[in-house]
């Protein structure tokens, strides 16, 4: 059994700049690939940038249904993770939660 781990950068055609997406081969059974994404959203993010973030998550998830791990610092302190809710039901936090629900 090989102990090699191949890694390559994956490009996504979305204009959100603060992310890194890597494809690892050799970590899953049957030599399948695993995609790992790290995302950063500035606390000063504007609406246009937030929309690009939602598009990025939608694109990554629609193209990669299995063996996907996304993590990040999204800087929405008002999200109540125990209930998956936000006090601002019309704000970007709610749109972010909806994007996560849709994709996961």
Q: What is the pLDDT of residues 43-78, one digit of tens each?
A: 999 999 999 999 999 999 997 777 899 999 999 999
Q: What pTM value is reported for the model? A: 0.86
Contact in structure between 85 and 73 (CB atoms under 8 Å): no
> Which residue is listed with tokens 């994007």?
99
CA distances from 12 to 16, 33, 81, 99, 104 (A): 9, 17, 28, 17, 19
pLDDT tens per residue across span 79-92: 999 999 999 888 89
Q: CB of 21 within 8 A of CB of 37? A: yes
Residue range 14-38, pLDDT digits in tens = 999 899 999 998 766 666 788 999 9
Is 3.60.10.10 the CATH number for 6-103?
yes
- Please say if the pLDDT value at position 1 is more than 50: no
What does the pLDDT read at residue 29?
A: 63
């Amino acid at each position: 059994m090989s102990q090699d781990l191949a890694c390559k950068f994956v490009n996504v055609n979305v204009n959100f700049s603060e992310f890194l997406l890597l494809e690892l081969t050799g970590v899953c059974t049957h030599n399948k690939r695993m995609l790992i994404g790290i995302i950063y959203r500035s606390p000063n993010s504007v609406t246009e940038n937030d929309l690009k973030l939602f598009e990025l998550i939608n694109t990554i998830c629609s193209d990669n249904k299995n063996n996907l791990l996304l993590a990040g610092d999204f800087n929405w302190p008002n999200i109540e993770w125990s209930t998956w809710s936000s006090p601002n039901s019309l704000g970007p936090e709610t749109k972010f939660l909806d994007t996560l629900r849709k994709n996961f």
